[in-house]
């Protein structure tokens, strides 16, 4: 089970935590699952989120595997190996934070850190049947996290339950307050395309919550997905493009990077216009409904045997990537499934309403487990 790429034994006697290998830990090289970084020098300092965890007494268990350069959705890595999806072993573990999700799902740790630029926490959380939070953009420090510059990327926790996730957020997010009451909170059910079993499970979970709900439409949703791809392509090429010339980048990621290199300034300008318009649209919906709900994934995760060319599976992020573009906090919640594949509910809240988002997520998870 290729979950940890580096075993650690650091910190106190508190909860065990795993750290995605795009996040610096002092004394250990950050290799991001890429052979081109095999000889990278050890980090001279730990990322700010790691320092916060150590100061709070967390025990660092290891650095986790990932989709190479955090630029893929399946979690398949032909150099470091692909983590087994512990609960759904026929399916991909999801990317890019595959090892972090698998470590939680397999019980090695109650909580792990991942990063999410286009769904890279929520997709593996959904695939592996665990909780995963993308905080509000900028709420959690990215100092010491690869890539150094990003307008999309967020550090956040994946956890076995909401209590572990909330405890971790209280440590890594300065000013994370007590959870607010949720009485009177209503939920907007975002109208998106998804297969029937997923759509029905999401609607059932909202009904079980006992919270008022009504449909809501986001007309620029598909545009936002496309624009998010443009931005991540430009920013990842700027951060990692030079590695392609080494010949040591995996074929699937190299193919995506070379395609990303063709992003033009005009493409970016158009994407930024969509970002502004879609953000305003989401903000408006959240004035009517404090929380939005939709599936995390529109379909079952790909089977491992059908996921050889991971560059063709970027569409796994169709329902999550728009909220990277807009910067709103979003969380993936595992739902019961009798389909043989995982199903996950995604909730979205207003910027910096991460506490409300977690309060509603914890309530829904509790109601599901009661029934």
Does residue 120 carry a catalytic annotation?
yes
Q: Is 81 left (phi over 0), alpha (psi -120 to 50) or beta?
A: left
Structure tokens of 355?
């506490």
Q: Rounded to 5 degrees, what angle do the CA atoms 284, 290, 293 make?
A: 95
Residue with tokens 């029937």: 196
Q: Is 349 left (phi over 0), alpha (psi -120 to 50) or beta?
A: beta
3-class SS shares of the chain: helix, strand, coil, % to 5 = 40, 20, 40
DSSP line for 84-146? --SSSTTB---SSSHHHHHHHHTTS-SEEEEEESSSTTHHHHHHHT-EEEEPPTTSS--TTBS
Looking at 20, 31, 63, 134, which residue is catalytic?
Answer: 20
Count of C-beta atoms within a 10 Å radius of residue 273? 12
Does residue 311 carry a catalytic annotation?
no
Looking at 46, 63, 96, 351, which residue is catalytic?
Answer: 96
Distance of CA 145 to the CA centre of its chain: 15
Structure tokens of 64?
């986790």
Looking at 46, 98, 100, 120, which residue is catalytic?
Answer: 120
Please give the Cα distance from 293 to 331 (Å, whole number).
Answer: 10
CA atoms within 13 A on the CB side of 151: 17
Strand partners, 113: 19, 157
Buried b (16+ CB within 10 A) or exposed e, 229-259: bbbbbbbbbebbeebbeeeebbebbbbbbee
Please state whether beta strands 131-134 and 187-190 pair in parallel, antiparallel, or not at all (unpaired).
Answer: unpaired
Q: Rounded to 5 degrees, what are φ and ψ at 47?
A: -60, 155
Residues forming the active site: 20, 96, 120
């Amino acid at each position: 089970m290729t979950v940890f790429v580096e075993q650690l034994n650091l910190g106190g006697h508190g909860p065990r935590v795993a750290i995605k290998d795009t996040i610096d830990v002092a004394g250990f090289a950050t290799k991001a699952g890429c052979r081109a970084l095999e000889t990278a020098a050890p980090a001279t300092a730990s990322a700010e989120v790691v320092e916060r965890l150590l100061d709070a007494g967390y025990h660092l268990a290891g650095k986790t595997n990932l989709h190479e350069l955090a630029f893929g959705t399946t979690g398949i890595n032909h150099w470091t190996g692909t983590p087994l999806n512990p609960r759904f072993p026929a399916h991909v573990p999801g990317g890019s934070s595959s090892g972090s999700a698998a470590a939680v799902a397999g019980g090695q740790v109650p909580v792990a850190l991942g990063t999410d630029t286009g769904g890279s926490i929520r997709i593996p959380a959904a695939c592996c049947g665990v909780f995963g939070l993308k905080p509000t953009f900028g709420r959690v420090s990215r100092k010491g996290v690869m890539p150094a510059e990003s307008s999309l990327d967020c550090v956040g926790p994946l956890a076995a339950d909401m209590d572990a996730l909330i405890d971790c957020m209280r440590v890594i997010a300065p000013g994370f307050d007590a959870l607010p009451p949720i009485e009177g909170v209503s939920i907007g059910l975002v109208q998106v395309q998804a297969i029937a079993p997923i759509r029905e499970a999401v609607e059932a979970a909202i009904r079980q919550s006992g919270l008022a709900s009504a449909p809501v439409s986001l007309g620029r949703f598909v545009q936002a997905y496309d624009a998010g791809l443009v931005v991540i392509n430009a920013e990842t090429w700027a951060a990692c493009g030079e590695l392609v010339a080494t010949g040591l980048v995996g074929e699937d990621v190299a193919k995506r990077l070379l395609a990303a290199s063709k992003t033009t300034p005009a493409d970016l300008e158009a994407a930024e216009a969509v970002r502004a318009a879609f953000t305003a649209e989401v903000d408006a919906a959240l004035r009517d409904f404090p929380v939005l709900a939709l599936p995390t994934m529109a379909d079952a995760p790909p089977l491992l045997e059908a996921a050889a060319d991971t560059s063709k599976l970027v569409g796994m992020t169709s329902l999550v990537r728009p909220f990277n573009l807009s910067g709103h906090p979003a969380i993936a919640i595992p739902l019961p499934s009798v389909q043989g594949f995982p199903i996950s509910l995604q909730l979205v809240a207003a910027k910096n309403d991460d506490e409300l988002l977690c309060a509603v997520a914890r309530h829904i998870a509790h109601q599901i487990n009661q029934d």
